[in-house]
Every structure is written in C-alpha cells, then in structure tokens.
Amino acid sequence: MKIHKEGRRILFFTLLALLAINLLLYQFNEQGVGFNRVFSGVSVVAFLLLLQFFRSPYRNLLTHEDIVIAPADGKVVVIEDVHEPEFFDGVRKQISIFMSPINVHITRNPVSGTVKYFKYHPGKYLVAWHPKSSTKNERTTVVVETEAGPQVLFRQIAGAMARRIVWYVNEGDEVSQGEEFGFIKFGSRVDVFVPVDTDVKVQIGEKVKGGQTVIAQLKTPPPTLF
C-alpha cells in the first residue's frame, strides 16, 4: 500500500495544520483539557480518513483485448442503452460506477488502444447519482479506439464533494488497459459507453474493483487465417 501522488501535498499541509492547531490549544487553552483531548482525537480520525482516501493499493491487473475492465472501484449504478450525444451521437450501452468517499479514487483505462478524443468540461456539482450529472457536472470525456476495433468512451464525473478532476491522457496517446488515466478527489462517478451488442458481465448494485473486475466483453470479428 502506498499514498497516491495526488494526495501527498494535501496530506502534508493537513498534518501541519492539525498539529499547529492542537499545539495552540494545549498551550493557550489549559482550562479546556477535555475539549483539547476530544479535538485531538477528532484530528487523528480525520487525518486517517483522508489518508485512506488517497491510498493506492497494488492491483494484479487483468488485461485482454476484447474485455472491458472496471475503470474504478465502486458500485454499478446504471446499465442501460442511452443516446450518447457528445462523440457518437448514437445509441450506446452505458455502464456507470459510483465511487463513495471510502473507495480508492484512482481511475484506470478500461481498455487498451489509441485516444481518439479527449475533452474537459467545466460544470456543476450535482450529486454523482443524479441523472443529469453525466452531462451537467464537471467531467472529462475520453474515447479510445481499442486494439480489438470498437471504440469505448469513458467519462470521469465530479460529484457534490468532488471538486477537482485530474487526468493524465491526451488525444493521440497510446494507453494500456489498467493503467491510471486520472484521479477524482472526494466522491464521484465514472461512466463507460460501449456498443449496444456488448456482453455486460456485471449487474446493478454489484461492487467492482478498478483494473480487476471485467464489466463487459466486446463483440469482435473472429480471426481469419487468410
């Protein structure tokens, strides 16, 4: 287990601030010993919660050219055919994963291939399970042309608590399945859009692990010898 690079600065300055406040309390609030002890306990718990949020556990990644793996830890909240207007302008199957504040918030490439499209959208901060969060909230959209052929779109979506999305990919990049493509701070959601004939391997309410859980299998043409 290690701490993700996106959390190191936040953790460092949070630790300094909590230490300073506690030292000041014990120095200038000698009469409020009980309050000081309670605040110290709350400080420890708050820092540990922040620490676990930015954890980066080791993952034994699962890779294959015709499967789609979970891009993040969380719970499957949507599986449905929808009209995707931004890139495909057509019907695609949407699989959405909600990430609670206690989940690992690293986001990973669900497929390998070439980034054909990338765009960052500033926006609102509706709760991540709101139906309009996919089109109204702050978000990024990435489309990868897979090694197997089909194009897969995936989208980081900020939630009510998540106020910053970080990404590490750009158009033209070659990406590998399971590698990090970004990080969303403090609760969020990831949507994946695949062709409608894709075989979905998860169910609503199922908990998944980024880089390990197979969420779908793409329909690809059989190999030929000639």
Residue with tokens 């043409």: 221
How many other C-beta atoms lie within 10 A of the C-beta of residue 3? 13
Distance of CA 19 to CAs 9, 15, 39, 91, Å? 16, 6, 11, 53
3-state secondary structure of 43: helix
Contact of 2 with 56, CB cutoff 8 Å: yes
Active site residue 188: yes
Catalytic residue, chosen from 112, 133, 134, 188, is 188
Distance of CA 36 to CAs 20, 30, 33, 48, Å? 13, 9, 5, 18
- For residues 80, 86, 88, 89, the Cα torsion angle rounded to the nearest 10 degrees is 80
| Helices (runs of H) and strands (runs of E) counted in the chain | 3, 16
Question: How many Cα atoms within 13 Å fall on the side-chain side of residue 175?
Answer: 31
Rounded to an integer, what distance in angstroms lies between the CA atom of residue 98 and that of residue 113?
25
Catalytic residues: 188
